[in-house]
Amino acid sequence: MKRLSVVGCLLSVILLGVWIRCGPIPQIQPQTTPTIVDRHGVILYEPLSLGGTRSKWITAIPDNVAAATIAAEDRRFYRHVGVDPVAVARALAHNVKHLRVVEGGSTITQQVAKLMLPRADRSLTSKIREAVIAQRLEHRHTKREILALYVNLAPYGQQTVGIARASDRYFGCAAEQLTVAQAAYLAALPQRPGTPKRALARQRLILHRMRDLHMITAADYRIARAERLAFERGHHPLIAPHFVVHLMDPSKTFIQTSLDANLQREVQGIIAAHRADLLRHGAHSAAVAVFDNRTREWLAWEGSGDYFGETFGGAIDGVTTPRQPGSTLKPFTYALAFEQGFTPATVIADVPSHFATAEAGVVYTPRNYDGRYRGPLRARAALAGSENVPAVALLSRIGPESLLRFLRHVGFRDLNHTADYYGVGLTLGDAEVTLEQLIEAYAVLARGGDGVVSRRTAFWITDILSDPNAREYIFGSGGSLDFPFPVAAKTGTSQAYHDNWTVGYTRELTVGVWVGNFDRDELRNSSGITGAAPIFHDVMLAAVMRLGGGGGPIVDRPSDLERQPICALSGHRPSTECPAIESEWLPPSDHVEFCSWHHREGVELPAEYRALDANVRTAEPAVLHVLNPPNGATYLIDPTLRREFQALRLRASAPVTWIVDGRHTQEEWPLRGGKHTITAVDGEGRCDSVTITVR
């Protein structure tokens, strides 16, 4: 009986021993919280885990880290079996001496057990549980593996868990790059030293122990003691938040993006620098994106200019928010017209016109921004000057159906309504699109058409949008759209001035800017050329400076296009009677149409320019006269005066559009040497010309 109970006891002890060593341990999930970086590895954002920490799991533990950790936590680590009676005894003695708990006597293995258990406290039950788990860890893992678990699971302060994040957070380097002094400093942190001063004191103690334990030589010790620790100035960045949130993916721990963090910062700085100007226009938000035409990657992406500004919806991403694009859609109307046989020399009527709409009996009468009409306008000038009437006239020729199909094909995916729904407003930008789509669509042109449109069309549109002379008659010269390298650019303003846009491209980059309010508050004193354009200018310059490019033609000229002379007014091949001759990139044609508008007796415009409201016709003088300058006059340029102050004021007997040497111009015409033909054209197709000489 007695023997039986002894055997039973023995068996129980063995079973208990087996259970202690071999029982289950909590599952360990190697945890790495995500890091989102730019194209060069610069950190854009590091979100926190649900527990409010950042972590990174590593498998190989650097020797410096291993040595410093053992010196700091458990100098007999390699000699005990998970629990260290010597350490417990020493801790007890210390605690009795100080009459309070100053040392725990826990081994590294016990601490790993504690970190693995969800609810560990300082109770005796917890201590026993930790000791049991420590036994199981020792049974299943090598010492080096247990050490790796510890440095991956230990908290190092500043919301970091694990040595890898801690190295990066405190010293801006990887764990394997830590010096002895740095490794010793970090090894001091899991015990929560409280202040940096106490952490440094503990670091010295750890270095001391490392030397005493022969982990480092006396020379290493001296070097480590002498090292002045340089800490990372710590803040966790949030660069390009609008872009980053699109990419958040819980299944990924490392996300490399296409962004360029430096360019992104520069874009944010540019918006900030224009903030006062934006507010003057009543605009609280600005969205900017920079696109690499070749790789089709986003290089910068700013959604509002102020992600954390709550009053005006800063977290809304203006790059992906559909808005009315205004005139920025016009180039696509012209592109389709060019695909269908129009050329930049084709003349379009900028005269008071009425267009039928889908609604029976309802006609649409488009107006230009300045309320004026410019008579016959070549497509080049009409697009560059962003005139509304010719754009609607073009649309009525090509049809809203085919324009809508074309716009969807170019990438405006949100145009879900029917052509009847949009009507002629389609070319004036009443249909909502996003800045993202707008930029991608312009990039199609920058790439030479990309198979969506012909290279010829892409070249023509690009050549017109990068022609400062062609837009001068509306927008003046100089200013935000002028660059020291070719840039094709277009501005736009939505109906009722809610949105202001500028989009443009070089061969390499496309930049888009939207300015407005997410609550659709109206802008003040804002046209296509204010608000967005100055930001566009600065961003384009910054992007080209940083990423290069900008030299050479944007789109290579197709070999079948040649500079050919045209009559400035009719766009046809000039006859001997044409007073002003321009040139245009045109394909050689076997059928050359000569100008039939100019005769020896003067000019006679086609009927469409004369078909007018009878009331207007009777109310105004029948003949149009250039009043200033007088025909045949000679002007002298004063060499002592600056050029911009020497302008000639052009005047006529009625409101007119001015054409000097075939080029539309403003009323204040800056004097240029030579012989010049000055033509006045009014909205009713009447015309008068004078010739002057400037010396």
- Name the site residues for Zn ion (rule: CB under 5 A): 567, 570, 578, 595, 597-598
Least distance (Å) between residue 598 CB and Zn ion: 4
* Residue 588 CB partners (closer than 8 Å, separation 6+): 560, 562
Name which of 456 and 676 has its Cβ closer to Zn ion: 676
Contact 293, 509 (CB under 8 A): yes
Name which of 357 and 677 has its Cβ closer to Zn ion: 677
Nearest to 649 by CA among 635, 673, 631, 666: 666
Name which of 540 and 568 has its Cβ closer to Zn ion: 568
How far apart (Å, rounded) are the C-alpha atoms in residues 384 and 470?
6
Least distance (Å) between residue 576 CB and Zn ion: 10
Contact 47, 33 (CB under 8 A): yes
Name which of 82 and 579 has its Cβ closer to Zn ion: 579
CA angle 249, 255, 260 (to 5 degrees): 125
Q: Encoding tokens for residue 269?
A: 């700085």
Name which of 127 and 598 has its Cβ closer to Zn ion: 598
Name which of 130 and 688 has its Cβ closer to Zn ion: 688
Least distance (Å) between residue 659 CB and Zn ion: 11
Name which of 429 and 579 has its Cβ closer to Zn ion: 579
Helix and strand numbers, DSSP H then E, in the chain? 24, 28
Q: Cα torsion at 101, 103, 105, 109 (round to 10°)?
A: 110
Contact 363, 356 (CB under 8 A): yes
Least distance (Å) between residue 504 CB and Zn ion: 33
How far apart (Å, rounded) are the C-alpha atoms in residues 438 and 494?
14
DSSP assignment letter at 210 = H
R_g over Cα of the chain: 38
Name which of 125 and 576 has its Cβ closer to Zn ion: 576
Name which of 376 and 448 has its Cβ closer to Zn ion: 376
Residue corresponding to tokens 């593996």: 145
Least distance (Å) between residue 464 CB and Zn ion: 21
Least distance (Å) between residue 681 CB and Zn ion: 12
Range 220-225 contact pairs with CB under 8 angstroms and sequence separation of 24 or more = 220/180, 223/180, 223/181, 224/179, 224/180, 224/181, 224/184, 225/181
Three-class DSSP category at 623: coil
How far apart (Å, rounded) are the C-alpha atoms in residues 601 and 590?
29
Instruction: Name the residue type at position 338.
Output: F
Q: With the C-alpha atoms ordered 529, 534, 535, 540, is the resulting torsion angle positive or negative?
A: positive
Three-class DSSP category at 180: helix
Q: Give all strands of the β-sheet with 155-157 in edge-to-edge order.
A: 54-55, 160-161, 155-157
DSSP code string of 529-543: TSTHHHHHHHHHHHH
Name which of 336 and 578 has its Cβ closer to Zn ion: 578
Residue corresponding to tokens 């407005």: 516
Task: Give, for 560, the enclosing helix (H) or strand (E).
Answer: none
Least distance (Å) between residue 656 CB and Zn ion: 18
Name which of 578 and 586 has its Cβ closer to Zn ion: 578
Bridge-partner residues for 663, per DSSP? 660
Name which of 202 and 598 has its Cβ closer to Zn ion: 598
How far apart (Å, rounded) are the C-alpha atoms in residues 150 and 213?
20
Least distance (Å) between residue 560 CB and Zn ion: 25
DSSP code string of 301-349: EESSS-TT-TTTTTTS-TTTS-B--GGGGHHHHHHHHHHTT--TT-EEE
- Kindly report the number of other CB atoms within 10 A of residue 414's CB atom: 12
How far apart (Å, rounded) are the C-alpha atoms in residues 93 and 396?
97
Name which of 577 and 667 has its Cβ closer to Zn ion: 577
Pairing of strands 651-652, 647-649: unpaired
Name which of 554 and 580 has its Cβ closer to Zn ion: 580
Name which of 177 and 596 has its Cβ closer to Zn ion: 596
Task: Give, for 435, the enclosing helix (H) or strand (E).
Answer: helix 435-446
- Kindly report the number of other CB atoms within 10 A of residue 637's CB atom: 13
